[in-house]
């Protein structure tokens, strides 16, 4: 049961980001539909990545450039999905 949930989470990560999740991950339309329950958690991870990159960039750069760095990090992470 836990293995199935982990597979669903990795399927959500694979669908919404460019993070490699492994070559042995099975894929089917049913798995993708079931993985929708983890889309929120993947979105939270993407948001945390953007927030951390904004915080770190703000330590070094101006606010405008920090925002650009944060946007670029989330664009690269998601592959410009939205």
Rounded distance between C-alpha atoms, residue 65 and residue 43, angstroms: 23
Q: What is the pLDDT of residues 14-61, one digit of tens each?
A: 999 999 998 889 989 999 999 999 999 999 999 999 999 999 999 999
Token pair belonging to 5 = 């949930």
- What residue numbers bound the domain in which 63 lies? 2-78
Domain count, the chain: 1
7: confidence class by pLDDT, cuts 50, 70, 90: very high
């Amino acid at each position: 049961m836990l293995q199935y949930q982990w597979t669903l989470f990795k399927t959500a990560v694979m669908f919404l980001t460019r993070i490699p999740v492994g070559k042995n991950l099975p894929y089917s339309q049913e798995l993708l539909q079931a993985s929708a329950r983890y889309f929120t958690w993947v979105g939270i991870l993407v948001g945390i990545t953007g927030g951390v990159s904004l915080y770190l960039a703000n330590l070094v750069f101006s606010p405008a450039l920090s925002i650009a760095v944060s946007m670029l990090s989330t664009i690269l992470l998601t592959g410009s999905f939205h």
